Amino acid sequence: MDNQPFTFDIALPGGIPSTYSNHITRRLSSMRGQYADEQTYVALLAGGDALLYEVYEEQVPENAGELLHGISIVHPGKVGDEYFMTKGHFHAEIATAEVYYCLAGQGVMVMETPEGVWAVEELRAGKVLYVPPRWAHRSVNTGSEADLVTFFVYPAHAGHDYGSIEKQGFRKLIVEQGGRPAIVDNLRWLPPEQR
Ligand code: F6R
Ligand code: ZN
């Protein structure tokens, strides 16, 4: 049985540091095939390559024993009904965990194991989320106007496996229904034995 993700609250300190050594930006064009409403995705992209999220990281040697850490900012917006989100990944060294601390905004972390066990946890300012080893993770901004800002820290040798998620996405999607976020099935997703 896999460990389950868990969360708890810590009172929020002030300010977001801005001295990180590496800045990564991800645009709509890098999310091809990830949004359920392909037609709307193509139409939006034709109108411009929107900036969906950014990561500020402090570069450290990618060795076991070091900790990579930084700030992830997912901007608000939707592709059809589906909120802006990160690509999401397993760690290449799959037995490595990650801690997220939400600094600002509203959102969720969508997670799943290679066997297809899934979990969705709320992210809001002050919330700590523990992503256990073996759980893929994707942050989703469910706010209508504000950025979703999280601090993250994980073993520096973990690496990223994006390919497994790119093939069919996560088992669950986060969409707006009646003005609120809802968890729905991803119809493209197949259990491991049917892939
Ligand atoms: C690192 C991690 C975060 C994400 C960031 C962007 O292991 O989980 O720093 O890398 O939130 O998401 P991805 O990497 O999925 O594009
Ligand atoms: Zn990660």
pLDDT tens-place string over residues 128-164? 999 999 999 999 999 999 999 999 999 999 999 999 9
**Residues 78-103, mean pLDDT to the nearest whole number:** 98
86 C-beta closer than 6 A to ligand 1: yes
H or E element at residue 165: helix 163-168
| Phi then psi dihedrals of residue 11, to 5 deg | -55, 140
**Residues 69-89, mean pLDDT to the nearest whole number:** 97
Note whether 116 and 122 are within 8 A (CB). Answer: no
**Residues 125-129, mean pLDDT to the nearest whole number:** 97
Three-point CA angle 111, 159, 117, nearest 5°: 20
Q: What's the one-letter identity of residue 191?
A: P
152 C-beta closer than 6 A to ligand 1: yes
pTM: 0.96
Percent of all residues in the chain with a pLDDT value above 90, rounded to a whole number: 89
CATH-assigned architecture of domain 22-194: Sandwich (2.60)
Helix (H, G, I), strand (E, B) or coil at 38: helix
Distance 104 CA to ligand 2 centre (A): 19
Note whether 112 and 135 are within 8 A (CB). Answer: yes
User: Domain locations in the chain?
Assistant: 22-194
The pairing of strands 172-177 and 51-58 is unpaired
Ligand approaching nearest to the C-alpha of 164: 1
Reply yes or no on whether the pLDDT at 1 is more than 70: no
Spell out the residues 6+ positions from residue 137 whose beta carbon is closer than 8 angstroms to its own: 88, 89, 98, 109, 110, 111, 131
